């Protein structure tokens, strides 16, 4: 049986390699990212935040043991505001968007965000339980390293916005990583299947971030008074 310390060491190594090699995190530096780029990032990420509950629910439904289902169900309960529709994580994310001045009614979903969700959803419905847990774990293990790099730039651009979504997740993810590591340690199907799912999850995130980087680099055309783009 693989012990918790070994699980975290192996999975954190995969995440560190992912972040080091990611075009997005090489791009996401203060000198590259102005307030407009930050807003474009936030608008794209809206679709992902909205998708998290359904993905967690899909994963929970594939678990074979009660303990795994319970831990994921608690995670889902937290995502859903513990029963308060005003306190769902999507609601507090949208509060952040609104307080940055983003027009929520104008938000549309990027195609690459849809592809991220559909790719993970299909995998969670078809892979075995160990791989499903690994795919979900990829998002949990990636959250703090990713947000730890993304959030300081956003906060610098929007210091007066409601910060709760990001501060809550930076705190919660430590707990979630511990919980999901304990579940992985109890998996009977072998750590190899978990790593297989973890790598798939990171691959899905990598594809999303690569497309996101291209999207952020492409500045919208500015229309001149005469009506032609410049």
Burial class of residue 136, CB neighbours in 10 A (0-12, 13-18, 19+): buried
Residues 6+ apart with CB under 8 A from 123: 131, 132, 135, 197, 200, 204
pTM value is: 0.91
| Listed residue (109, 107, 142, 139) closest to 123, CA to CA | 139
pLDDT tens digits, 118-167? 999 999 999 999 999 999 999 999 999 999 999 999 999 999 999 999 99
- Bridge partners for 229 per DSSP: 223
Rounded Cα–Cα distance for residues 120 and 203 (Å): 10
Tokens encoding 230: 């410049």
Q: Quote the pLDDT of residue 1.
A: 59
Question: Domain 4-217 adopts which CATH fold?
Answer: Heme Oxygenase; Chain A (1.20.910)
Three-class SS state of 112? helix
Reading phi first (left if > 0) and then psi (alpha if -120 to 50, else beta), residue 83 is in: left
Q: Quote the pLDDT of residue 226.
A: 52
Low-confidence ranges of the chain (pLDDT < 50): 221-224, 227-230
Q: Quote the pLDDT of residue 60.
A: 96
């Amino acid at each position: 049986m693989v012990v918790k310390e070994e699980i975290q060491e192996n999975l954190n190594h995969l995440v560190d390699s992912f972040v080091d090699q990611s075009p997005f995190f090489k791009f996401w530096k203060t000198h590259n990212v102005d307030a407009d780029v930050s807003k474009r990032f936030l608008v794209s990420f809206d679709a992902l935040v909205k998708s998290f509950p359904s993905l967690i629910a899909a994963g929970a439904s594939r678990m074979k043991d009660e303990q795994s289902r319970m831990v994921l169900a608690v995670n889902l309960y937290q995502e859903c505001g513990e029963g308060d529709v005003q306190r769902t994580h999507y609601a507090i994310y949208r509060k952040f968007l609104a307080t940055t001045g983003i027009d929520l009614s104008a938000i549309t979903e990027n195609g690459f965000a849809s592809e991220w969700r559909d790719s993970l959803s299909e995998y969670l419905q078809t892979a075995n339980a160990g791989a499903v847990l690994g795919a979900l774990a990829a998002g949990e293990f990636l959250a703090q390293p990713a947000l730890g790099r993304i959030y300081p730039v956003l906060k610098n651009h929007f210091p007066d916005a409601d910060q709760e979504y990001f501060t809550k997740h930076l705190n919660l993810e430590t707990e979630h990583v511990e919980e999901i590591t304990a579940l992985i340690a109890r998996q009977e199907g072998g750590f190899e299947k978990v790593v297989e799912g973890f790598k798939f999850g990171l691959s899905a995130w990598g594809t999303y971030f690569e497309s996101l980087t291209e999207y952020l680099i492409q500045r919208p055309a500015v229309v001149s008074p005469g009506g032609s783009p410049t």
